[in-house]
Amino acid sequence: MVKIFIDPGHGGTDTGATGYGLREKDLTLSISKRIQTILLNEYNGVQVRMSRTGDQTVSLSERTNAANAWNADFLLSVHINASGGTGFESYIYIGNYPSRAATNEKRNIIHDEVVKATGFIDRGKKEADFHMVRESNMQGVLTENGFIDNAHDANLLSQTSFLDKIARGHTNGLAKALKLKKNHSEQVSITSSSNGKTNDNDDEKYKVNKTLDGYVTAADAKAEVNKKTTVKKGEYYVFNRSQGMINVTKEKGTPGSWINPKNNSGVKTPSTFLIRVKTAELWYYNKPDWNAREGKAKKGDVFTVVDTLTVNGSKMYELKSGTYITANPEYVEKV
């Protein structure tokens, strides 16, 4: 099993670079989630963990500590450049270390694949004393994907289709560099909604009709224990769904509190429906976690869906059997 740690640069109170209405923290998260989706849907024998999955503030030390504690095999830190220039460049650590040659070899592969997929001007394969590649125990690469304050690059970065190209280039490079094995399912479509958004936070809303108890986890909300706070009447964004519970927040893309919808008078619990597998084989999972693969469903298999969740920015169905499966319409269809 190959363990890849993806670090979307910046986040939370650290916006990163800005330009032309874009924020680096949004772009890096969007690209990183796309990379994760492709890896987990198109390759076998790979696990992916991210330093952040929403708009959280995470220090550099927390990021490398998490990667080191997980014993990742490879680290990818995704960034957007600024302060003059155009194009793509990549970095490895500048110091002397045993894996330097192997790290550079992998970086060269990833770098070339990103340039190939995006058409970015190639600014070169560089070295620097960056924390993410210095303090991580595993081989790692930091990429700078265009200049947010350059009109040409910013125009590209504002297009979801171009973010798909950046992600595809990184994934192709990772697959070649780490010798990942392709599975037999169809290529995943990672294009976001057509409204031009560059982040992956959903616009789904939920109306709270009266003051409710708020909880730290979905399990707490379901059992109605360990109350965290109160959630006042009003309209909220849906951050996540799990076990029939809903995580609601006033700030889109930021985790809020878990509530039990059965206590929200006037709101109906979603009804069940059937789905059918469209591809030859499709992974299903033993919990709402893209790394928790349980087995493979076959084309034509039909399942009963009891809930729809958002897991790391991508939709997942909770099945009546207690397992989970992707909600991507490329792979499943409602019947």
**Residues annotated as part of the active site:** 144
CA neighbours closer than 13 Å in the CB half-sphere of residue 181: 6
Give the ranges where 87-229 is alpha helix by DSSP (H): 100-118, 131-134, 151-157, 160-177, 218-223
CA angle centred on 288, ends 219 and 250, rounded to 5°: 65
**8 A C-beta contact, residue 157 and residue 163:** yes
Nearest CA-CA partner of 287 in 265, 267, 272, 309 = 309
> How would DSSP label each residue in 296-329?
EEETT-EEEEEEEEEETTEEEEEETTS-EEE--T
The answer to whether the Cα torsion of 294, 295, 299, 302 is positive or negative is: negative
CA neighbours closer than 13 Å in the CB half-sphere of residue 97: 19
**8 A C-beta contact, residue 250 and residue 201:** no
CA dihedral 269, 272, 277, 283 (to 10 degrees): 50
In terms of Cβ atoms closer than 10 Å to its own Cβ (0-12, 13-18, 19+), residue 134 is: middle
Distance between CA atoms of residues 26 and 8, nearest Å: 9
